[in-house]
Amino acid sequence: MIDLRNGYPRLNLSRRSFVQGSAALGLVSAAGGLLAGPARAEEPKRGGNLRMGIGGGASADTLDPAMATATVAFVIAHCWGDTLVESDPETGEAVPSLAESWTPSPDATQWTFKIRQGVEFHDGSPMTAADVVETIRRHSDSESQSGALGLLGSVVSVEEVAGDVVVTLSEGSADLPLVLSDYHIQIQPNGGKDDPMAAIGTGPYKLVSFEPGIRATFEKNENDWRDDRGFVDSVELIVMNDATARVSAITSGQVDFINTVDPKTVALLERAPNVEILQTSGKGFYSFLMHCNTAPFDNNDLRLALKYAIDREAILNQVVGGFGTLGNDFPVNDNYALAPEIEQREYDPDKAAFHFRESGHEGPILLRTAETAFPGAVDAAQIFQQSAAAAGIEIDVRREPNDGYWSEVWNVQPFCASYWGGRPTQDTRYATSYVSDAEWNDTRFMRSDFDAMAAQARAELDEDKRRALYRDMALMVRDEGGLILPVFNDFVNASSARLRGFVHDIGNDISNGRIASRVWLDA
């Protein structure tokens, strides 16, 4: 039986049973209620101004959810918007949002979504099935630059039928509801085609002001269709890319929450009065990326040399402070359903030296990094530099400016530090950045045989066959791709003691971007 911990978990159904059973049941939400969140131990309080110091913002940030890339834009999108489907924070199960229920065809190539009625956009206009149709069409258009395009490549058509939204796929996918929980796919009036940066949605807060790379402010949406969220009167999101500035802000009471706490400062923060550490297991990872189509990284022996030359244990202990698990150069850990069991790659200077000689490369290798890439990214690069030196590999570490790193270095330069958050399923993880036509294929890994396996796994109803395909895919990325993945990180954030109701969400960091809608403030 499939344990779809990040698909349809804890149901103990095979994928075939799920498709057939949900077709009969229509996946109607129980008693019309929403399931996205555990029962609260205390009654939320309303009012106050939530202040957050968030790293991962830049002057290039945009309000268009299709183009959102880094953390600040991710959190902003969830303040003003809603997706069609959400994921349960504890299990990863697909749960209703703007779609009340959904029904697949027996082969999962066609899905019918029943759209919630009586929901209004921030401008007072009704949210309709037509808006949902146009939103999905915009993000799935082959000419789109949306970060969700790679997830929606199998969409053939999206139509409104008798008030429902019918999505037809070129191949079966039992993962489609979770695909539509992706944060880029915020439902907008006319799909956002008229003004994608208007930040008009159905979310708990209305945008008041936006200064890219500086701050964003919101006020409560008094006409919110949900009464179980949006407890504060206003939200202020302040861009704080400097880790020291974030620590100073939380300890001084300037803000109520900060993200990406450097593990080296955890002990200091634990001693600070009125500060709490928030540690959450997830699927995100710290990495170094090589462009497989750019010299010298178009040589697989050189890529293997660098993979064997990195001391993962040192990075886990010295940079991550033990707040995570070892990576193995493919982007899936045990938090994913059907995660493969593959022998751990270890630091081996002798094997690194062998592959380096086989590559024929001479001279230093330039690695770009910045603190905004991930907490301790500069230190991790220096540890990498030292461990590679033992294999006779010279790495030249260049520290880039934080501002502009995600627009001018990541996905542009051929060897750099990076961070990736998790995705609901293995299929969406690979579709985001490993299939050849993925918008964010940041290792330039382009293999037609890999693409074929991804498509086959997506439609495969036999659990054992799907598991075997995912194992083959992981081995291909591990042994031939451009990903160096030393660690999967736990999410380590900090809050003031007066911030209550924080939900630990395995989906992604900062309560899967939904922190503002879920927390409240004590007096």
The pLDDT assigned to 39 comes to 54
Please give the structure tokens belonging to residue 422.
């998790």
pLDDT band at 370 (very low <50, low <70, confident <90, very high): very high
- Higher pLDDT, residue 15 or 320: 320
The pLDDT assigned to 23 comes to 32
Each domain of the chain, given as residue ranges in start order, spans 1-25+82-200, 48-80+203-282+491-523, 285-489
The pLDDT assigned to 520 comes to 98
Q: What is the mean pLDDT of residues 70-74?
A: 93
Question: pLDDT tens, 476-499?
Answer: 999 999 999 999 999 899 999 999
pLDDT band at 42 (very low <50, low <70, confident <90, very high): confident
Q: What is the mean pLDDT of residues 419-423?
A: 87
The pLDDT assigned to 150 comes to 81
- Higher pLDDT, residue 449 or 21: 449
**282 has pLDDT over 70:** yes
pLDDT band at 90 (very low <50, low <70, confident <90, very high): confident
Q: How far is CA 4 from CA 42, 340, 489, in A?
A: 30, 13, 21
Among 421, 3, 425, which residue's Cα sits nearest to residue 174? 425
Among 214, 89, 81, which residue's Cα sits nearest to residue 139? 81
65 touches 192 (CB < 8 A): yes
Question: pLDDT tens, 237-248?
Answer: 999 999 999 999
**355 has pLDDT over 70:** yes
**CA-to-CA distance for 521 and 523, rounded, in angstroms?**
6
Question: pLDDT tens, 153-192?
Answer: 899 999 999 999 999 999 889 789 989 999 999 999 999 9
CATH number of the domain at 285-489, out of 2.40.50.140, 3.30.420.40, 2.10.109.10, 3.10.105.10?
3.10.105.10
The pLDDT assigned to 19 comes to 30
Question: pLDDT tens, 97-153?
Answer: 999 999 999 888 999 999 999 999 999 999 999 999 999 999 999 999 999 998 898
Q: In what order do the strands lie in the sheet with 215-220?
A: 205-211, 215-220, 234-239, 49-54, 257-258, 491-496, 275-280
Q: What angle do CA 142, 121, 227 make, to 5 degrees?
A: 120
Q: For residue 20, how many C-alpha atoms fall within 13 Å in the half-sphere facing its CB?
A: 6
**CA-to-CA distance for 344 and 346, rounded, in angstroms?**
6
Q: What is the mean pLDDT of residues 351-368?
A: 98
Q: What is the mean pLDDT of residues 310-335?
A: 95
**CA-to-CA distance for 175 and 88, rounded, in angstroms?**
14
How many other β-carbons are positioned within 10 Å of the β-carbon of residue 8?
28
Common-topology check for domains 1-25+82-200 and 48-80+203-282+491-523: no
Q: Which residues, other chains included, contact 30 with Cβ-Cβ below 8 Å and sequence gap of 6+? A: none
Q: Mean pLDDT in the chain?
A: 90
The pLDDT assigned to 398 comes to 98
Cα dihedral sign, 197-203-209-212: negative
Q: What is the mean pLDDT of residues 34-43?
A: 60
Among 415, 437, 454, which residue's Cα sits nearest to residue 331? 454
**28 has pLDDT over 80:** no
The pLDDT assigned to 41 comes to 66
Please give the structure tokens belonging to residue 3.
């344990």
Most confident of 4-13, 43-52, 260-269: 43-52
How many other β-carbons are positioned within 10 Å of the β-carbon of residue 126?
12
Question: pLDDT tens, 200-231?
Answer: 999 999 999 999 999 999 999 999 999 999 99
Q: What is the mean pLDDT of residues 259-275?
A: 91
**CA-to-CA distance for 98 and 203, rounded, in angstroms?**
10
Q: Is the pTM of this model over 0.85?
A: no
Q: Identify residue 217 by its one-letter amino acid code.
A: T
Q: Residue 486: what are its φ and ψ, rounded to 5°?
A: -75, -35
**321 has pLDDT over 60:** yes
**410 has pLDDT over 80:** yes
**CA-to-CA distance for 28 and 25, rounded, in angstroms?**
7
User: Dmax of the chain from CA atoms?
Assistant: 67
CATH fold label, 1-25+82-200: Dipeptide-binding Protein; domain 1 (3.90.76)
- Residue 175, SS3 per DSSP: coil
Q: Identify residue 120 by its one-letter amino acid code.
A: E
CATH number of the domain at 48-80+203-282+491-523, out of 3.30.70.1520, 3.40.190.10, 3.30.930.10, 3.40.50.150?
3.40.190.10
The pLDDT assigned to 458 comes to 85
Q: What is the mean pLDDT of residues 317-339?
A: 92
User: Within 31-189, where are the H helices?
Assistant: 71-80, 129-140, 176-179
